[in-house]
Amino acid sequence: MPRLRRNRSFLGFVLVTAFFFAGVAVSFALMLWHALAPAEQELVLGLMGRHASYLFGAGVLLLAGLGFALDWVFRLYVLPLDRITEETALIYRSNPSHRLALEGSPDVMRLSAVINQAAERFEELNRSVAERIAESNFRLEQEKSIFSTVLAELPEGIVICSPEGRITLYNERARELLENTGADRGRSVLSPGGGWIGLGRSIFGLVAKPLLAHALDDVDERLRSGRADVVSSFAMLGANDRILQAAMVPILSPRRELSAFGLILSDVSGPTAAFQRAEEMFHTYARVMRSALAGIRSAVELILDYPHLSADKQDQLYRLIQRETLNAGEATDRLTQAYAATVRPPTFRRSIRAADFIDAVRKRLGDHPGLALEPAGVDESGWVRVDPYALAVGVEFILMRVEAEIGVEAFRCGLAVRDRAAELTLAWSGPPLRLETLRRWEKEPVVIAGEPLQWTLKEILDQHKAEIWPHAGGDGDSCLRLRLEAAEPMAVMIPRRQTILATARPVYYDFDLFGQPGQSPELDHRPLAELAFTVFDTETTGLNPREGDEIVALGAVRIVNGRLLETECFDQLVRPQGRLRAESIRVHGIQPEMLADQPGAGQVLGQFQRFAEGTILVAHNAAFDMRLLQIQGEPDGIRFDNPVLDTMLISTVVHPAQSSHDLEAIAERLGVVVMGRHTALGDAMAAAEIFLKLLPLLAAMGISTLGEARRASQNSYYARLKY
């Protein structure tokens, strides 16, 4: 706009100058005319009439010369100065690495060079300040990392919300527990409790409102009655039909007002399912046993009450009793087997290689000089299920006792693994142990190096469902045999996620959101810096939505409180109804076969509508994308009535003197590195970064609310472009 204005004002300047010169010339001519005698006047008229073409030519040349001179001045001084003004502002507001091109007159070029030098210093200064800030932030970051790593590694899901229910912190586990994934996403569009987790989003999209309201009331009641236990617990359904146990923990301000609440979520689906199976088993068993007992009882009573029954009848009754006892026996066998497979008490036992366990035992014995344990027949490929520490301590205790009782110091140890059982053998040359001696030891607390531990030997053996007994071999050798559970070899070892400080940031938090008011229709008056934005981009079958071109990919990221939340993104391919144009495949590289199994536009737009709920939509050249959303959402009744901002229009507002406002040009101007250009998510990410850099430039122009930004965009020249 200023360029147009500048052109217009320069035209005015040219006209005024021309009129002024013309006026002066005409006044002189008139004065001269009046000073001449009539004869001289006639002579002049005659001369002018004869040489009119010369005079006219001279006039035109004079005007043209003046025009060229002024245009020269305009191009060399006026326009470059405009550009310099704009780009200097760009340097100190958005991109300190930007430098002015050395163009225009020598004076202008000198000015540009000086500004570039100043920019150099400015950038240097900025860098050193940034370095110092980074340094002092480092320690803070480290503390934050410890905090976030601990949160991320917790087996429980953690969600912290403002009192209005807006999420201000969550960990990855909470996302797993609450957010439907993959195939279930489609369903989540319709079913409640299938929403998205994200900073600034409402918890009510994930947890049923009445449930939360009830828990909040409960917490409130507990707080008011001054109870020490203020946590309210409830059960809820989580993502993919998980059963979650939730605890609501109030977070209080110093004045004991609710300033936030936390939800601690644990997945109890596994134990619940096991309990249900066990209950089912018990009921089945009870039913079979009742019917068997009823049969037996009635047969026995018949035999007792009617002693003169025929032999044939009696035989029938005896067979019935036999049949029912067999039934009862089978039911008992089934229950015993199924129960062991279903109900697994919590245990510290884990799968470990037999050889590794023997190594662990031998290491423990390193502290007992004189006591030797030689491996003999350890199954190298076998695995056992043990608590390595507890059982190694148990074995150490047994060997010390055998040493004291029998006086042997050299032991051989084998560990054979067969099917489901493993047998640990501790052998020595000497007399065998008596069972009653072992039973005495079992009752004693295990004492290692003079320190009694918290277990008895029996407790350790019971934890392992282990049986121990002595055995006397031939030729004076004796041994103790310890029967353990074998384990399946673990083909793939699943390591715990490594914890790396400083870079481990799987927790997303923004405590500023505590102060965020609820969203209202008065959005236009709200400062841009406070709003939540969904920046999105589409890839399409072609460039003409009106002629049936459709979306094939939709990508989006969120900006909340001025921060780009890269992990909260939407990235989805869309199956179009029509054909992909070859030109568009060349641009985005999405092939038709990649789209065959993808959801249709109706489903994806439904999900996207929920993703973008309550935010301002931002896109580059938004008119195009909004047109697509409108046309393709229509059949399913999906309407996007979010306010919209366009990075292209905002760029024309803040940099009117620049000729190009496409994504690459703006990115280069603002120092944004574009990754994954022409993927929907990559372009959305770039647009989001550009948008964040445009915000301070808008603010410098006095545009700080949503309404002002929208009005400025509307007035912009490009706003008339329609798709």
Partner 1 sequence: MALQFLMEQNGYETIVAFSGEEAMEAVARHRPDLILLDIMLPVVDGFEVCQRVRENPEWSHVRIVLVTALGGEAHVTKGLDLGADAYIIKPFANADLLAKVNELLECRG
Residues making contact with partner 1 (CB under 8 A): 325, 328-329, 333, 336, 420-421, 423, 434-436, 439, 465-467, 469-471, 481, 483
Nearer to partner 1, 33 or 469 (CB): 469
Nearer to partner 1, 119 or 433 (CB): 433
Q: Supply φ then ψ for residue 355, to 5 degrees.
A: -65, -35
Rounded CA-CA distance 208/162 in Å is: 16
Cα dist from 474 to 315, 409, 429, 435, whole Å = 52, 20, 10, 18
For the bound state, the minimum distance from the C-beta of residue 281 to partner 1, rounded and expressed in Å, comes to: 17
Q: What is the dihedral of CA 352, 358, 359, 365, to 10 degrees?
A: 130
Nearer to partner 1, 117 or 336 (CB): 336
Nearer to partner 1, 186 or 470 (CB): 470
Helix axes 38-50, 52-73, angle to 10 degrees: 70
Structure token pair of residue 552:
């094939």
For the bound state, the minimum distance from the C-beta of residue 467 to partner 1, rounded and expressed in Å, comes to: 4
Nearer to partner 1, 287 or 420 (CB): 420
Place of tokens 């036992």: 349
Place of tokens 């603002």: 670
Rounded CA-CA distance 618/651 in Å is: 13
Question: What residues contact 599, with CB distance under 8 A and at least 6 apart?
Answer: 186, 572, 574, 575
For the bound state, the minimum distance from the C-beta of residue 181 to partner 1, rounded and expressed in Å, comes to: 42
Helices (H), 36-168: 38-50, 52-73, 79-93, 106-153
Region label for 370, one of left (φ > 0), alpha (ψ between -120 and 50) or beta (otherwise): left
Nearer to partner 1, 132 or 420 (CB): 420
For the bound state, the minimum distance from the C-beta of residue 435 to partner 1, rounded and expressed in Å, comes to: 5
For the bound state, the minimum distance from the C-beta of residue 374 to partner 1, rounded and expressed in Å, comes to: 22
Return the closest-CA partner of residue 185 out of 592, 572, 597. Answer: 572
Rounded CA-CA distance 654/631 in Å is: 31
Rounded CA-CA distance 653/660 in Å is: 13
For the bound state, the minimum distance from the C-beta of residue 336 to partner 1, rounded and expressed in Å, comes to: 7
For the bound state, the minimum distance from the C-beta of residue 302 to partner 1, rounded and expressed in Å, comes to: 20
Rounded CA-CA distance 662/284 in Å is: 71
Structural element, H or E, at residue 278: helix 269-305
Nearer to partner 1, 198 or 295 (CB): 295
Nearer to partner 1, 435 or 529 (CB): 435
Nearer to partner 1, 363 or 434 (CB): 434
Q: What is the dihedral of CA 74, 80, 81, 87, to 10 degrees?
A: 150
Q: How many helices (H) and strands (E) does the chain have?
A: 22, 20
Return the closest-CA partner of residue 692 out of 657, 666, 661. Answer: 666
For the bound state, the minimum distance from the C-beta of residue 334 to partner 1, rounded and expressed in Å, comes to: 12
For the bound state, the minimum distance from the C-beta of residue 453 to partner 1, rounded and expressed in Å, comes to: 25
For the bound state, the minimum distance from the C-beta of residue 469 to partner 1, rounded and expressed in Å, comes to: 5
Between the two ends of the chain, the Cα-to-Cα distance in Å is 22
For the bound state, the minimum distance from the C-beta of residue 332 to partner 1, rounded and expressed in Å, comes to: 8
Nearer to partner 1, 432 or 562 (CB): 432
For the bound state, the minimum distance from the C-beta of residue 596 to partner 1, rounded and expressed in Å, comes to: 54
Nearer to partner 1, 481 or 678 (CB): 481
Amino acid at 169: L
Cα dist from 349 to 271, 330, 487, 494, 507, whole Å = 18, 31, 10, 16, 31
Nearer to partner 1, 8 or 434 (CB): 434
For the bound state, the minimum distance from the C-beta of residue 278 to partner 1, rounded and expressed in Å, comes to: 19
- Beta carbons of 664 and 674 less than 8 angstroms apart: yes
Rounded CA-CA distance 526/563 in Å is: 17
For the bound state, the minimum distance from the C-beta of residue 252 to partner 1, rounded and expressed in Å, comes to: 55
- The secondary structure of 648-682 as a DSSP string is HHHHHHH-TT-S--SHHHHHHHHTPPP-STTSHHH
Nearer to partner 1, 332 or 630 (CB): 332
Burial of 591 from C-beta contacts in 10 A (0-12 / 13-18 / 19+) = exposed
Rounded CA-CA distance 628/154 in Å is: 43
Nearer to partner 1, 328 or 559 (CB): 328
For the bound state, the minimum distance from the C-beta of residue 437 to partner 1, rounded and expressed in Å, comes to: 11
Rounded CA-CA distance 702/538 in Å is: 31
Q: Three-state DSSP class for 614? A: coil
Nearer to partner 1, 426 or 559 (CB): 426
Return the closest-CA partner of residue 380 out of 409, 355, 349. Answer: 355
